[in-house]
Amino acid sequence: MDFVRSAHRKASYLDQQGLGSLLLKLQTRIHGFLMQEHDLRLFSPALSRSLTFDLTYLLIRQRAWHNAPILSELSIDFLCSEFQIPRHLGTQLVENSLDLLHSYTPIEIDWTAEKYEEEFLEHLFVCSTLATNDEELADDIGFGRNLIELLRTAVRLDQDAETAGLFQFAPELASKLYRIMSRIFIEQEACPWILDLYRLKNILQREPYTKKKTLTPEYLNRLFNILLCCNWQGNDAKTIAGSGIGEHLSSDLGTLSRCGLVYEESRRRPLPSLIRLSAKGLELTRAAFAFAACAVRHPALKGLPAIYQAAVLERLLSHPSEDRMTWMKNQTPLLTPEALRLLIEILKQQQKDETLLEVFENLLHNHAHAWIRAEICEALPLADKPDVSQNLLRPLASQDPSPMVRQAARAALKRQARMASKV
C-alpha cells in the first residue's frame, strides 16, 4: 500500500468537511488520552500521531453511523489489530471519542440500534462494490484488513466454509452481511442498476443533515430519475420538470448539487441554465444508461463521455455476437482512449487476438489520434501473433510523428524481444 498517497487522501477528505473545531477537539481528546497511559513505552511519538490521525478519519468518515453499536466494536478491533495496543485501551479510546461525537450526531427518533446496524453493514457492502482493490476499500471505509476479511467471508458463505477449511472472522456479522448481499442481489434481478441506487443512498447518508427515515425507495428513485433526465448533455430545469418529477425539483436539485452529483451551467440570455451531471453523477448513472442504450441493435457511441462509452461496450461484450463484433470494429474510431483501453482488456480476456488486430489496423488506417496510437502500442505485442504485432509496431517506432507514440512502440518491441527470448 502507498501510505503517503493514502494519508494524503484521508487528510484531503478531513479538510473538505469543514469541521475544524470538531476535528481539533477530537484529536486533542485522543492524543491527550494516549499521553495519560501509564505505560508510555507502548507509544512512540510517531505511533501516537498515526493512531490519532487514523481513528479521527475513521470516526469522521463513518459519522452517519455513530449510533450503531457495531461501529464501536469494529473500531476497537481496528486499533488492536493495526496498532497492536491492548484491547482495554482501544475500548477506552473509542468510547471516549464517541462520547464527544454523540453530541454532534444525536440518535434519530424511532431509529433502533438494529436498524443502524443493518444500514451500516449495507453501507460497508456497497463500499466494497465500488472499490477496485483492498487498498482503495481500506481508504474509503477507514478500517483495516479484519473488516475486509469479514466482507470476503460473507461473500463465500454460499460455500461450505468448514469443508473448505476457511477461516471465518466474526461469523455472526458475516451471516448478517450475507443476508444483506443476498437481498440486494435478488433486487438486482428486477433492476440491474439497483446497486447504483444503494450507492446514491450511501452518498446521501454521508451528508450530515440527512435523516435516515427520508431515504425511502421512492425518494431514491425520484432523485435517480432526475439524474437520468439531466443526461450527459445537460437539461434545463423546465425540461426536467416536464418529465413528471417537478413537485420537489428545486429542493431535490439542491440536494444533488450539495452531494456533488450535478452542477448548474449558465448560458447566454434568454437561454435558461443547464443542469449537468458531474463526473460523480456520470459514474453513478453509467449502468442505467448502458442498459437503455443497448436496448437498440446498434447504440450510438459518437460524442458520448468516455465513461458512458465504456459502459456500453462492457454491456455489449458481455453478450457478444458476430453482428455486434462487426459493428464494434467499425465504431472504434469514435472511441475515447479510456473506452478503447476497456475494449482491449475485454478482448484480451476473451482471447480474441484476431479481432483485436483488426481493431488496431482499422484505427491506424483511419489515422487515429496519438493517444489512441499509444494505447495500441501499450496493448502489444500479442503472444499468439508476434509477426503481425511486429509489423504494426515497427512503422510506429520509426516513422510516427509523435514522440510519445514512438517511445511506446519501442517499449512494446523490447517487450516482444523479451517474450521471444523466454520461448
- Tens of pLDDT, residue by residue over 180-197, are 888 999 999 999 999 999
- Provide mean pLDDT across the span 249-276: 89
Report pLDDT for 165: 42
Task: Enumerate long-range contacts of 186-189, CB under 8 Å, 24 or more apart.
Answer: none
Instruction: Report the chain's C-alpha Rg in angstroms.
Output: 26
Q: Is pLDDT above 70 for 169?
A: no
- Mapped onto helix, strand or coil, the DSSP state of residue 75 is helix
Determine which helix (DSSP H) or strand (DSSP E) holds 185, and give its type and residue range. helix 171-190
- Provide mean pLDDT across the span 203-219: 84
Confidence of residue 156 (pLDDT cuts 50, 70, 90): low
- Provide mean pLDDT across the span 232-236: 88
In 3D, which of 404, 355, 349 has the Cα closest to residue 378?
A: 404
- Cα gap 303→336, rounded to integer Å: 9
The model's pLDDT over 55-93, given as tens digits with 9 standing for 90+, comes to 999 999 988 888 888 899 999 989 988 888 888 889 999
Report pLDDT for 132: 77
- Cα gap 196→203, rounded to integer Å: 10
Q: Is pLDDT above 80 for 352?
A: no
The most confident of 225-234, 341-350, 369-378, by mean pLDDT: 225-234
- Provide mean pLDDT across the span 121-142: 85
Report pLDDT for 163: 37
The model's pLDDT over 392-413, given as tens digits with 9 standing for 90+, comes to 888 888 888 888 888 988 898 8
> Any idea what the Cα angle at residue 93 is, between residues 8 and 15, rounded to 5°?
25
Contacts of 394 (CB under 8 A, 6+ apart): 409, 413
Confidence of residue 39 (pLDDT cuts 50, 70, 90): low
